[in-house]
Structures are given as structure tokens and as C-alpha cells.
Amino acid sequence: MTAPATGQSLGLLVCMRCRATVRAIGAAQSLCPRCEAPLFVRRPHSLSTTAALVITAAILYIPANLLPVMRTHEIFSDDDDTILSGVISLAHHGTWPIALLVFFASIVVPLLKLVALGETLFAISRGRVRYPGQRSRLFRMVEFVGRWSMLDIFALSLLASLVQIQSLAIVEVRPGAFAFAGVVVLTMLAAQSFDERLLWDAQAND
């Protein structure tokens, strides 16, 4: 059974700036004829860059969920809330739809994105990727969800607004919110820096 043809086997180069696909003509073909940017067979340092971003995001995910994301100053008390305690508070007050929104957008979705990217990178590093088509669809789903990752930040803003409305209180942003924003941004950058064609390169070595 012959291996499927790939852009690399056909001598195709890709421009990282305008996404043009160019057939290499000798060693001199190193610049894009459309925008004159450098041409590459694969995105340079894609695997190492994506791995560094995913590891950093995974490290930040811990303080993002353990540290308080906001402090509520009331007349007689000051309360610090983490994301999970905010979800519990919303559920306790009967706002289950908003509690579920915050839980999935701020806890479940970032974790699933980290697991999916991490597992994909690990499989590629071993050079034995199975079912690259399914993994490719999984990555595209992660990339699509990443476009809506700022919903997580919106959920935190909504949570702070609800606390501020229901009582005479002042809400301050705490370090957990900055760690959480870092997780969102880093996972988005990781999805953008990953070269999906590496899945098929690793599958070819299986």
C-alpha cells in the first residue's frame, strides 16, 4: 500500500505570511513570489514553540483555579472568590444557567484544550501518530474553540457584575484573574503556532 502524496513529497513550500503554496524550483526558490516572504516546508520551530506555550499555560492553569480571581469589599466583610467558589455561589443563589456557563467556559474548556494539545504534541514527538484524520479534526475543534476563548474572560466580568449588583459591594481583580487570562491567551497562541501537517509527517513514520 503506497503512502498518500503530501505537499512535502511533491516539493511544495508554504508562505507563512500570505499562505501561498509554491512549488520549489531549485535551491534558489526561497522567497514567496506574491509577498516576498521566506518559504518553508513546515512552520519553523512549530513543535517546540507550541510545546512551550502549552506547558506555560498548564502551569498557569493551577494558580488560575487556586488563587482568588476577585475580592469583594462589603460593609462588614471582605471575601475572596476563586472561579470554583464563584460557581458554587451562583448555584447557591439559584442562577444555575450562569453557574454552568462559568464552570464550562472557565474550568472545563481550558482543561480540555490543554489535554488535547498536550496529547497531540506527545504523539508527534514519538513519531507514531495513529488516526491523523481524527486528530486533525480534534485540533481544528480546539482551534475553533480558541476563537471564543475570550468568553472565559467575559464570564469572569459577568460574575463580578452580578456580585456587585446584588449587594453594595466593590469588586477588585485578584492575581488568579491574570493567571486565567494568561491561560486563555497562551492556548490561543499555541493553536495558532501548531503546524497541523506535522500529524501526517508523524503518521508517515508509523
pLDDT at 1: 45
- For residues 61 and 1, membership in a common domain is answered with no
- For residues 104 and 13, membership in a common domain is answered with no
- For residues 19 and 70, membership in a common domain is answered with no
Overall number of domains in the chain: 2
- For residues 105 and 140, membership in a common domain is answered with yes
Q: Averaged in consecutive runs of 10 residues, what is the pLDDT profile of the chain (206 residues)? A: 58 74 64 76 84 94 87 69 80 81 80 87 79 78 69 63 59 80 88 80 60
List CB contacts of 58: < 8 A, sequence separation 6 or more: 114, 118
- For residues 29 and 52, membership in a common domain is answered with no
Q: Specify the DSSP element, H or E, that contains 106.
A: none
The domain of 67 spans 45-204
- For residues 75 and 112, membership in a common domain is answered with yes
Rounded Cα–Cα distance for residues 34 and 39 (Å):
11
CA distances, 95 to each of 24, 159, 161, 165 (Å): 59, 11, 14, 14
